[in-house]
A = this chain, B = another copy of it.
């Protein structure tokens, strides 16, 4: 294990402050800047580094090249009882998603259930970000978003649907809450990139090559497409998410959801679909939490297969990572560090100010010696 003193590790709060300041100096409203930075740091803390501060650079570029509009507030287009259609007006996905969540939670408290369909949004970060906020308010959240094309339909050979994520948040009592946040692909594309870098094979069933043939070659897979989880089942789940979040809301769907990294002519037009449910319409909250605790305790007490230390519930690993990373700090890949340092220089901010004190002081000591 590497010694902590030799690693550069960032304090999550200082790093969030750095990102917030970057967005503010890029012209973003303070509250919105804070929401976006919060969403990025929460992802890093939970171990979903692909959705963390690594995205700062692309978000800034989308703003600078007028592909995203941080100044236009999301607007309600239709509203009646428990149903709302929200136009994101092409603001940050995290800003639009947070607005949709607030509306959904408020309406669900009032009406028992609420649905907020969202169009003209952008990549909204992790679903867990919203699920956890709903849990804090003792509400159940079902959340979907579509995404740009990455997976073929079953039988197809090129990407048509996105790895459209599904998230569910449910509060418990003494036990950890249930937090599901999954892409509808077999694995994250990142895992295939790692295999390619190591020169190792990938399991059959993860991906197809550019001609639509199953492949174990990581390079061929990267030229091709990652597959939906569980074959036709994942294809169908990804498709209904696209229908609810895209077709029904008026957002893009299929090829009309634009790729954030590749399309510099048009906004992404991502769609989301938030359903919030008030537990107390079914039973008293305390009773529900007791039942959740019992359910979770019973699952965790199940006999384990050989070599398994513990049965986990969705969100448990991430919860532990948050505790650990808040203590030990966040480690950033060199590429991300360099990007953030360069961004910092443009806005007269020093990334190194976000290093955790012990690292910083050890480094200073080393420099002095």
Give the interface of A toward B (CB within 8 A): 78, 80-83, 85, 111-115, 117, 140, 152-158, 160, 166, 168, 170, 178, 180, 182, 186, 208, 211-213, 229-230, 232-237, 239-240, 242-244, 247-250, 253-255, 275, 277-279, 281-283, 288, 291-292, 295, 298-299, 302-306, 308, 310-314
Contact = CB atoms under 8 A, between A and B. Distances in A.
B170 A243 contact: yes
Which of A180, A282, A312 has the most B CB atoms < 10 Å from its CB? A282
Contact of A283 (B140, B153, B235, B250): B250
Contact of A113 (B115, B154, B229, B311): B115
Which of A152, A178, A236, A244 has the most B CB atoms < 10 Å from its CB? A236
Contacts of A278: 83
A260 to B, nearest CB: 21
9 closest Cβ contacts across the A-B interface?
A212-B305, A83-B112, A229-B230, A83-B281, A155-B308, A236-B314, A156-B302, A230-B230, A180-B236
A305 B153 contact: no
Contacts of A295: 242-243, 247, 253-254
Contact of A230 (B234, B249, B314): B234
A358 to B, nearest CB: 35
Chain copies in the assembled complex: 2
Nearest to A228: B230
A166 to B, nearest CB: 8
Nearest to A112: B83
A310 B155 contact: yes
A248 B233 CA distance: 26
21 contacts: A82-B111, A113-B113, A140-B244, A155-B305, A155-B308, A155-B311, A156-B302, A156-B311, A157-B303, A160-B299, A180-B237, A180-B239, A182-B236, A211-B305, A229-B233, A230-B234, A239-B299, A239-B314, A247-B291, A248-B288, A250-B283
Given A85-B281, A230-B229, A291-B247, A154 B312 contact: yes
B239 A178 contact: yes
A208 to B, nearest CB: 7
Given A157-B302, A178-B239, A243-B295, 6 more contacts: A83-B111, A140-B248, A152-B302, A168-B236, A239-B314, A248-B279
Which of A115, A278, A292, A312 has the most B CB atoms < 10 Å from its CB? A115
Contacts of A279: 248
B282 A249 contact: yes
